[in-house]
Structures are given as C-alpha cells and as structure tokens.
Amino acid sequence: MATKRYSRTRTSTLEAFQHAKDDYWYRPVVFGKNLFTYVAYVPPGGFMPPHGHEEDPYELSVFMLQGELEIMLDGDTFVASAGDAIHVEPTVSLGVRNVTDRTAAFVLTFNPPPPSITSIEAVRERYERRGGGIKAAAEIEALMASERPAG
C-alpha cells in the first residue's frame, strides 16, 4: 500500500499550547519537512513581546483570520486586521499585542520548521516537561467566542 503524501487536521479538535509565560496560544496544524504551521489565538489584552532571537533562521508567513493585532517587526508597529497577510524575513523578531475587546486569530507558518517540533506528541511533551500551559479544544473555542469583560 502506498504511503499517503498528505495529512488533514481538524483544528477545532486540537488543544492549544501557551507560547511562553504570555497570553498567546497556538494549535499546531501542519508538521512538514520544510514548514510548520499553527493557528494562534491572542485574547483581549494578550501580548507576546518580540522574541529577540534575531539569529533565528525562520522565514514567517502570517495571515490574519479574525480580529486586530498590533504587530511589532524590526522596530515598526502597525495594526493588522482579518484578511491581512505579512511576510517576515529570517532574523526579524515578531511581537503581537491585542488592544481590542475581541480575541484575534492568525495562521503562522515557519520555514524551516523548528527542529524540536516534529509532531503534536513532541509539542505536548515539550510543554508538559517545561510546565507550559495547555488548553483543551473546548477552552480555545470558548476563548474565540469571548470578549473582554466590561469595566
């Protein structure tokens, strides 16, 4: 029997991982030889500072699905909205901040993929080992439907 040369992932069934000690969550959806893709979720008030890894070899592709984010790249800050696409050259640090009352979501693709991220099992093990946050699929779906409380 021939090996499949494709994979399919139903994103709504996946748990999400906390990027760092920030309010930025992601669901890994594609693990390829030459790319890695995830869907990121940044709730109201969420912030991921530019990572400061200027030596990173990753070329990035960002596509906004929902909401708006302040995007920080190479010393510039601008607002990206649903439907915007952004290309980021290697060595440029990416940061995001959600100053709205709606959760923002975007697709982020890395080329090449980070070497330690080869499967959903590898990601889960990495986050369990380092004590990172993991949200169940239902928690992320609820996050997508929520807004910042009034006050």
Say if residues 106 and 39 touch (Cβ distance below 8 Å).
Answer: yes
Phi–psi pair at 129, nearest 5 degrees: -65, -40
Given this model, what pLDDT does residue 148 score? 54
Please report whether residue 108 resides in a domain: yes
Q: Count the domains in the chain.
A: 1
Please report whether residue 7 resides in a domain: no
CATH number for position 75: 2.60.120.10
Task: Give me the domain span that covers residue 91.
Answer: 13-145
Sheet-wide strand order for 59-66: 85-88, 59-66, 104-111, 36-42, 25-31, 16-18, 134-135
Please report whether residue 66 resides in a domain: yes
Q: What is the pLDDT along the chain (151 residues), one digit of tens a residue?
A: 678 888 888 888 899 998 877 888 999 999 999 999 999 999 999 999 887 666 688 999 999 999 999 999 988 999 999 999 999 999 998 999 999 999 999 999 999 998 888 898 988 888 888 777 889 999 998 888 876 555 4
Please report whether residue 82 resides in a domain: yes
Please report whether residue 151 resides in a domain: no
Rounded-to-integer distance, Cα 81 and Cα 132, Å: 28
